[in-house]
Amino acid sequence: MTTWTALTTLEDGDRAAALAAALEEMEPAPSGIGSFEMEDGSGLWEIGAYFEAAPDPVALDLLAAEHGARPFTVSELPETDWVAKVRRDLSPVVAGRFFVHGSHDAHRVPEGVEPLLIEASMAFGTGHHGTTKGCLQALDRLAGEGVVARAVLDLGCGTAVLAMAAARIWPGVMLASDIDAVAVEVAQANVAANGLEGRVRCVEAAGLDHPELRAGAPYDLIFANILKGPLVALAPAITGSLLPGGRVILSGLLNEQAEEVIGVYSSLGNSLAHHAKIGDWSTLTMTRDPCK
């Protein structure tokens, strides 16, 4: 079936959400709508809608003007076997000892790895993005150095792949939190699919201000694979939730943003232990000063 997309951008998250809500009232109604902050450091928000019939260009122009957005770009998409495409594009990912795969590649899991079953979904974190892979490699590196973390938080967890990876190699119950209710549902399904129920607890929370997250602190390790803005805003709370000598793995960063984030976390008493780059993306491993 042929579908159409309509995409635009603007510079404010609240206006992006308002435009996304207004798109729901269009005729024909979109079959799907989304808005998210772009990861290129521009500060722009992208708003997109999918239609099963050609959308009204005049209605789109009026909505864009009303909300201060750029004119929509409308594209017709050819009929695609999306299941086959996902299976083709999302081949297994190897990150240290971890082997991230979909169910269609379960027969390809080699001996001697820690398998993680993650299906492509609406939640971020299938292991294919450089930031998620960087976090898995950082975790593998810490484990290889003899680190054992029993209190772990995966902040902004998406699919919960990082919390599950920690549960594969360390004892204890790992916490995984996300501000998005859909991500939490996806995370819970992944935990069950990987046989880790009781080992990974999924929580819907904004930042670290949640009773379960406060009760779980202080942490040996916190993953924060989010964007630069939230990483900077949450730096005091993240640092304050770490044990002295605890680690934080930070990602969701473009390479050119890394130095600013290092500076912010260093000013709060964290030391850079490792800086890895995969393509355009950086992953930082930092240690809280034992004296702080």
Digit-coded pLDDT (tens) for 70-114: 999 998 876 655 445 445 555 678 889 998 887 777 777 888 889
What pTM, to 2 d.p., does this model score? 0.71
Measured CA to CA in angstroms, residue 161 lies from 51, 61, 167, 238 at distances of 31, 40, 10, 20
pLDDT at 109 (0 to 100): 82
Distances (CA, A) of 288 to 52, 219, 221, 243: 51, 11, 10, 7
Please tell us whether the domain made up of 3-77 is placed in CATH 3.40.50.2300.
no
Cross-strand pairs, 101: 117
3-state SS assignment for residue 21 = helix
Low-confidence ranges of the chain (pLDDT < 50): 82-83, 85-86, 122-123, 128
Fold held by 122-288: Rossmann fold (3.40.50)
Q: Could you tell me where in the chain the CATH 3.30.70.260 domains are found? A: 3-77
pLDDT of residue 84: 52
Using CB atoms within 10 A of its CB, is residue 25 exposed (0-12), middle (13-18) or buried (19+)?
exposed
pLDDT at 169: 96
What distance in Å separates the CA atoms of residue 39 and residue 124, rounded to the nearest whole number? Answer: 12
